[in-house]
Amino acid sequence: MNKLLNQLIEQKILLFDGALGTMLQKAGLEAGQCPEHWNITNQSTIAEIHKQYINAGAQVITTNTFGGSRAKLQTYGLDNDCHRINYNGVALAKQAAHGKALVAASIGPTGKLMHPMGELHFDMAYDMFKEQVLAFVEAGADLVIIETMVDLQETRAALLAVKENSSLPVVCSTSFDERMRTLTGSDPITIATVLEGLGADIIGANCSGGPEQLLPVIEQLASVCNVPIIVQPNAGLPELINNETVFHLSPEAFASFGPKLIEAGASCIGGCCGTTPLHIKALWETVKLLDPCPYKPHPVTCIAGRTGTLFISHDLAPIIIGERINPTGRSKLAEDIRSGAMDLVRQEALAQVQNGADALDVNMGVPGLDESAAMRQAIEIIQSLVGVPLSIDTTNPIALETGLRYFCGKALINSINAEPSSLEQLLPIAKKYGATILALPLDGCNLPLTAAERFAIAEKIIAAAKKEGIEQHNIVIDGLCLTAGAQQEYAYEAIRAIQMYKSKLGVATALGVSNVSFGLPRRDILNSTFLAMALSAGLNMAIINPHDLRMKETFLASQVLMNYDTGSKSYITSVKQTNTQTPTNNENITAIQKIRTAVIQGEKTLIAQYIHEALTKQEDALAIVNQALVPAMEDIGVSYFKGEAFLPQVMMAAETMRNAFQELKKTMPENEMPQYGTVVLATVKGDIHDLGKNIVGALMENNGFRVIDLGKDVSAESIVTAASEYNAEIVGLSALMTTTMPEMEKVINQLREHNITTKVMVGGAVVTQEYADSIQADAYASDALDALRKAKAIVLQ
Amino acid sequence: MYEILVDLPIQIPLGETYRYMGFPANYNDIPGQIIRMVEEEVSVATAVLKPRATYHTMAYDAAENTLYNKEGHLRLIGSSICMHLSSCTKVTIFTCTVGPAIDPLMDTYFKKGEYTRALIIDAIGSAAVEYIVDTLNQYLNTAAYRQQHSLVSRFSPGYGGWGLTIQKDLVDLAGGAAIGIKVTDASLLIPRKSVSGIIGWVPGLEKIQQGITSPCTLCQIPKCKNPICKGGAS
């Protein structure tokens, strides 16, 4: 870390400059003008501002390139000048500094939201930052400062762009809101954990608020950071006075916070919005004789997601890593991953976290699949849904690097073993991305049956990791769970190994508990008992199925008995709730049952295949209709009325029925299809709401009715004509507004006048049974499923 | 004169989208394939939505139930709305829309048999327009605060017993035509994903304690199944 670190070590406190934007406005920058364009058009002004800060005492000056990304410049039509603007920014600062100050090339946010909230994908952001970095290197910047960042993922893209395209030291400074969170929900501890792991040389906070608001942020950063900390507050909180934003802290008032910020843990200090050379000069007077806080936090094993960090220690409660996103032995999940749909992946991510998983293991090992692409897709999907840390479960170096690159956090690598190829290929990747390693005590020779053998291998992995620059606190060791069914005498060695790791090495431990019961009946009993043993021995990370009720109960009870669950609060809350288990997979279901289940679960893409399979197995098409499809809609209806399923699932079932009938029509004669009759549907005159009517039509059409949908805003005359023309059994009328409801009575009266005996069913948000009775409608439907049920009742009478 | 806001930033609120689709609030067991479809339709919708608003702040005479300025006036009829605004000295009338793109998308999905996507895109449209109204409401909260006023909860025609027939006059005065909003003979707004309403200003910064906090608490419609309904008569 060249001159920057040397200067820091010599001087102890390093003074950065203040706001550039504030000074540019004073120099005549108008609203709507691009500040960075002045690197081309007003070079002398830029240089003069830098000189003013140097004369005020700043030892590091920041270039006028904060908004110099291609995306930002594009908003001014200046993207073609991107390289020139960034190059000039550094060149002007170097010229002004003339060796008296270091030049920090500034990178700010692109102004675009990162995927999935916005359209900016990681690689796009990386490329934009890389473009800036290359210009900085060419112009001779001394370091890069990534500042005022509000999204950890965007910061990661910028940091990697610097690390991979230069050897410049890099400062990462984040802006937090009043809840001490970034825009996308990251707290200071998580920011520090992730960025320090990725190689940031200095970490800190700027903007956000005045110096008082940043004090607690710096304290939090200092509690985990082992690199120097920077703070650059605004000159107080902004106020809008006469349509102008004013920062009200005077230089003296601003500077008075300097000693407190140093005491809180900062060793680099400067100013942001509203500060001027006077603020910086006053600040230096208050801090120049101070020493930075000598306290350095003791490093603790941890993993992090975007919204939080999990610390792993023998003083802290153990955590659950959900193991369910793993296609091994699970054909449906494998197909879901192979197809790219990732529906089950989404479901498992949400469900496992809901059931208490603190982190999620992600394994995309499907034979024949591009594991790297699948891993990237899965991680981007999962982290858009949940903010927990992830365990990247692969030994494929390409898939591992992909996973670590796109994961917004500090991941656990599951796993690295002592085989030379594993150490050589995977340790450098772990080091680069700052991941925590799960070390598996295997060395490619004989299986280590005893705890002592595993311990010896673990020591080798730790030594190799240290050579790579990975400290012990970034290593977790697996107890290596063997199956009691095949190696009963060695099953308990995993427990002994955990005890040895804890007592002799002090490292954190992990165990994939479920392996112990493979091949034996009532796996839940064995798994939960083994889990209790492992927790008692000091297990820190339990890799389990969080849906397994018995495992969950054992885990919660252990937390009480080991005094982690203070006051037994979590345990008491949990046992008061009912927790239904996910039904286990039954491979012996019949083809008919499979179809029925597929309709209920809305598996519209697979239903044709199931129908085809059933017909191939000699199932009768009529039997499929009467024993699978019709009962399935009744089942979903029952679930709906019980409040266990909702309209979207009903719609999925209707789509599945549609696809099922389309497949059946290929072999089943038209006259054998269920036929309940003809329904004419319409939203009445003056009313343009048709969603409800369309849903009714969808259900009826796929449950044996012929539907004539007249659309919306339909006159009574048109409805009556259609009822007669199509010889409809039922006319269904929808109205959403009290002002349009009276049209329903018109339709009924006209039908009677023309002696048309079609039955009339009414429905809509404002329609009631009482109203239906008052206008002598034949039926009232409270919702779409009620409409289907009553329509069938009408025609079957 | 009314103010016009165009190209308002929009972030589709997923929780509200799921609620408009028919899931209960904070429901956690949404099937993965539905989540995926919602993600896809949010992308589709974001590309075609045109979030716009107009608003017009006018003086309000509570004794006469009339809003007025030099350009015009409008008398409010309906005990619920008059009671709601009884302490107000100013009101802001507004219109919001996300544009006409949702309806044809929904029609296309239904025709293709993609009922779930149709449901989703309709829900997204409803959530999006409410998001825009919320955004406008927050902006007005700030403006009111700066002028030492508090706002009462917003009220739209057709809710809480306030008749729909005022819709045309309200939209005219609020400038809805400038953002493409029309009113049908049956007093419905086109495009469908549009909202009009009124927000009352009360002098002072103390939190307003009224018996009425939401139009729904005044609503006389029993068993209203409109997803926006958060309670009311049953």
pLDDT of residue A359 exceeding 50, the answer is: yes
Measure CA A30 to chain center: 39
Q: Given an 8 Å threshold on Cβ–Cβ distance, is A694 in contact with B24?
A: no
CATH code of A662's domain: 1.10.1240.10
CA–CA gap between residue A133 and residue A90 (Å, rounded): 11
Residue that the structure tokens 């017909």 belong to = A615
CATH code of A25's domain: 3.20.20.330
Residue B82 burial by Cβ neighbours in a 10 Å radius (0-12, 13-18, 19+): middle
Whether A725 maps to a domain, the answer reads: yes
CA–CA gap between residue A94 and residue A81 (Å, rounded): 20
CA–CA gap between residue A743 and residue A440 (Å, rounded): 74
| Domain endpoint, select from A623, A648, A670 | A670
Nearest chain B alpha carbon to A763:
B225
Spans of all domains in chain B:
3-57+90-218
| Cβ neighbours around A744 below 10 Å, total | 25
H or E element at residue B52: strand B52-61
Q: Given an 8 Å threshold on Cβ–Cβ distance, is B22 in contact with A647?
A: yes
Peptide bond preceding B104: is omega within 30 degrees of 0, i.e. cis?
A: no
Measure CA A153 to chain center: 11
List CB contacts of A769: < 8 A, sequence separation 6 or more: A780
Read off the pTM: 0.65
Condensed to tens digits (0 to 9), the pLDDT of residues A491-549 reads 999 999 999 999 999 999 999 999 999 888 888 899 999 999 999 999 999 999 998 88
Question: Which residues of A fall within a CB distance of 8 Å from B119?
Answer: 647-648, 651, 691, 695
CA–CA gap between residue A456 and residue A468 (Å, rounded): 19
Question: Which residues of A fall within a CB distance of 8 Å from B118?
Answer: 651, 691, 694
Q: Are B106 and B121 in contact (CB under 8 A)?
A: yes
Q: Given an 8 Å threshold on Cβ–Cβ distance, is B115 in contact with A655?
A: yes
CATH code of A340's domain: 3.20.20.20
Interface-testing mutation among B20, B28, B30, B33, with chain A (most A C-beta atoms within 10 A)? B33
Tokens of A276: 């001027």
Q: What residue numbers bound the domain in which A520 lies?
A: 301-580
List CB contacts of A589: < 8 A, sequence separation 6 or more: A597
CA–CA gap between residue A283 and residue B105 (Å, rounded): 59
Does residue A205 share a domain with residue A160? Answer: yes
CA–CA gap between residue A218 and residue A265 (Å, rounded): 6
Condensed to tens digits (0 to 9), the pLDDT of residues A464-487 reads 999 999 999 999 999 999 999 888
The full length of chain B comes to 234
Nearest chain A alpha carbon to B122:
A691
Residue A329 burial by Cβ neighbours in a 10 Å radius (0-12, 13-18, 19+): exposed
The reported pLDDT for the residue numbered A385 is 80
Q: What residues are paired with A779 via a beta bridge?
A: A761
CA–CA gap between residue A268 and residue A261 (Å, rounded): 10
pLDDT of residue A454 exceeding 80, the answer is: yes
- In angstroms, the separation between the Cα of residue B164 and the nearest Cα of chain A is 8
Whether A293 maps to a domain, the answer reads: no
Q: Which of A116, A643, A651 sits opposite B119 (nearest CB)?
A: A651
Nearest chain B alpha carbon to A239:
B146
Q: Show the CA angle centred on residue A739, arms to residues A735 and A742, nearest 5°.
A: 70
Whether A295 maps to a domain, the answer reads: no
- Dihedral sign of CA atoms A252, A255, A257, A259 in order: negative
CA–CA gap between residue A583 and residue A586 (Å, rounded): 9
Q: Given an 8 Å threshold on Cβ–Cβ distance, is A765 in contact with B190?
A: no
Q: Which of A341, A740, A782 sits opposite B186 (nearest CB)?
A: A740
**Main-chain phi, psi angles of A439, to 5 degrees:** -90, 125
Does residue A406 share a domain with residue A538? Answer: yes
Please report how many Cα atoms fall inside a 13 Å half-sphere around the Cα of residue A740, on the Cβ side: 29
Tokens of A543: 């890799």
Q: Are A174 and A197 in contact (CB under 8 A)?
A: no
**Is residue A592 very low, low, confident or very high in pLDDT (cuts 50, 70, 90)?**
confident
Does residue A318 share a domain with residue A248? Answer: no
Nearest chain B alpha carbon to A333:
B32
More confident residue, A518 or A137: A137
Q: Show the CA angle centred on residue B199, arms to residues B193 and B202, nearest 5°.
A: 170
**Is residue B211 very low, low, confident or very high in pLDDT (cuts 50, 70, 90)?**
very low
Question: Which residues of A fall within a CB distance of 8 Å from B29?
Answer: 351, 354
pLDDT of residue B93 exceeding 90, the answer is: yes
H or E element at residue A529: helix A523-537
Whether the CB of B228 is below 8 Å from some CB of chain A: the reply is no
pLDDT of residue B193 exceeding 60, the answer is: yes
Alpha-carbon separation of residue A42 from A65, A152, A528 (angstroms): 14, 33, 71
Whether the CB of B220 is below 8 Å from some CB of chain A: the reply is no
The full length of chain A comes to 797
Residue that the structure tokens 């009290």 belong to = A738
List CB contacts of A112: < 8 A, sequence separation 6 or more: A71, A118, A119, A120, A125
Peptide bond preceding A318: is omega within 30 degrees of 0, i.e. cis?
A: no
Whether the CB of B87 is below 8 Å from some CB of chain A: the reply is no
**Is residue A317 very low, low, confident or very high in pLDDT (cuts 50, 70, 90)?**
very high
Does residue A690 share a domain with residue A662? Answer: no
Counted across chains A and B, CB pairs separated by less than 8 A come out at 116
Question: Which residues of B fall within a CB distance of 8 Å from A348?
Answer: 32
Task: Report which of B15, B37, B47, B20 is spatially closest to residue B123, judged by C-alpha positions.
Answer: B20
**Is residue A243 very low, low, confident or very high in pLDDT (cuts 50, 70, 90)?**
low
Q: Which of B29, B115, B225 sits opposite A695 (nearest CB)?
A: B115
Q: What is the DSSP string of A220-262?
A: HHHTT--S-EEEEE-SS-EEEETTEEEE---HHHHHTTHHHHH
Does residue A739 share a domain with residue A626? Answer: no
Alpha-carbon separation of residue A16 from A2, A63, A159, A238, A765 (angstroms): 17, 12, 20, 21, 63
Q: Which amino acid is at A506?
A: G
Q: Are A267 and A292 in contact (CB under 8 A)?
A: yes
Q: Are A744 and A775 in contact (CB under 8 A)?
A: yes
CA–CA gap between residue B202 and residue A558 (Å, rounded): 57
Condensed to tens digits (0 to 9), the pLDDT of residues A713-741 reads 999 999 999 999 999 999 999 998 878 88
Q: Are A698 and B115 in contact (CB under 8 A)?
A: yes
The reported pLDDT for the residue numbered A241 is 66
The reported pLDDT for the residue numbered A286 is 94
The reported pLDDT for the residue numbered A2 is 67
Tokens of A132: 């800036």
**Is residue A239 very low, low, confident or very high in pLDDT (cuts 50, 70, 90)?**
low
Q: Are A593 and A639 in contact (CB under 8 A)?
A: no
Determine which of A3-12, A557-566, B21-30 has the lowest per-residue pLDDT on average: A3-12
Q: What residues are paired with B96 via a beta bridge?
A: B53, B195
Residue B147 burial by Cβ neighbours in a 10 Å radius (0-12, 13-18, 19+): exposed
Does residue A317 share a domain with residue A225? Answer: no
pLDDT of residue A6 exceeding 80, the answer is: no
The reported pLDDT for the residue numbered A319 is 96
Segment A659-683 mean pLDDT: 84
pLDDT of residue A578 exceeding 50, the answer is: no
pLDDT of residue A25 exceeding 80, the answer is: yes
Q: Helices in A56-187 by DSSP H: which ranges?
A: 70-74, 82-97, 122-139, 152-165
| Domain endpoint, select from A253, A287, A321 | A287
| Domain endpoint, select from A636, A655, A670 | A670
Q: Given an 8 Å threshold on Cβ–Cβ distance, is B110 in contact with A694?
A: yes
The reported pLDDT for the residue numbered B144 is 83
CA–CA gap between residue A685 and residue A746 (Å, rounded): 10
User: Percentage of chain B surpassing pLDDT 70?
Assistant: 87
Greatest Cα pair distance, chain A, in angstroms, is: 102
User: Percentage of chain A surpassing pLDDT 90?
Assistant: 64
Q: Which of B22, B120, B165 sits opposite A646 (nearest CB)?
A: B22
CA–CA gap between residue A420 and residue A426 (Å, rounded): 10
Q: Given an 8 Å threshold on Cβ–Cβ distance, is B185 in contact with A686?
A: yes
Q: Could you say which of 3.40.109.40, 2.60.40.420, 3.40.50.720, 3.30.110.70 is the CATH number of the domain covering B3-57+90-218?
A: 3.40.109.40
Tokens of A220: 């939090």
Q: What residues are paired with A229 via a beta bridge?
A: A203
CA–CA gap between residue B212 and residue B221 (Å, rounded): 16
Alpha-carbon separation of residue A2 from A170, A172, A426 (angstroms): 11, 17, 29
Does residue A130 share a domain with residue A43? Answer: yes
First to last CA, chain A: 87
CA–CA gap between residue A210 and residue A139 (Å, rounded): 33
The reported pLDDT for the residue numbered A587 is 43
The reported pLDDT for the residue numbered A244 is 64
First to last CA, chain B: 41
Does residue A129 share a domain with residue A51? Answer: yes
Measure CA A776 to chain center: 54
Determine which of A150-164, A206-220, B139-153 has the lowest per-residue pLDDT on average: B139-153
Does residue A633 share a domain with residue A539? Answer: no
DSSP 8-state code for residue B51? -
Q: Which of B110, B186, B226 sits opposite A687 (nearest CB)?
A: B186
CA–CA gap between residue A662 and residue A660 (Å, rounded): 5
Does residue A614 share a domain with residue A483? Answer: no
Segment A289-304 mean pLDDT: 87
Q: What residues are paired with A412 via a beta bridge?
A: A391, A436
CA–CA gap between residue B192 and residue B181 (Å, rounded): 9
Q: What is the DSSP string of A395-442?
A: --HHHHHHHHHH-SSBPEEEEEESSHHHHHHHHHHHHHHTPEEEEE--
| Cβ neighbours around A143 below 10 Å, total | 24
Q: What residues are paired with B92 via a beta bridge?
A: B57, B199
DSSP 8-state code for residue A64? S
pLDDT of residue A585 exceeding 50, the answer is: no
Whether A294 maps to a domain, the answer reads: no
Does residue A611 share a domain with residue A501? Answer: no
Number of domains composing chain A: 4
Tokens of A123: 């690689």
Q: Given an 8 Å threshold on Cβ–Cβ distance, is B24 in contact with A646?
A: yes
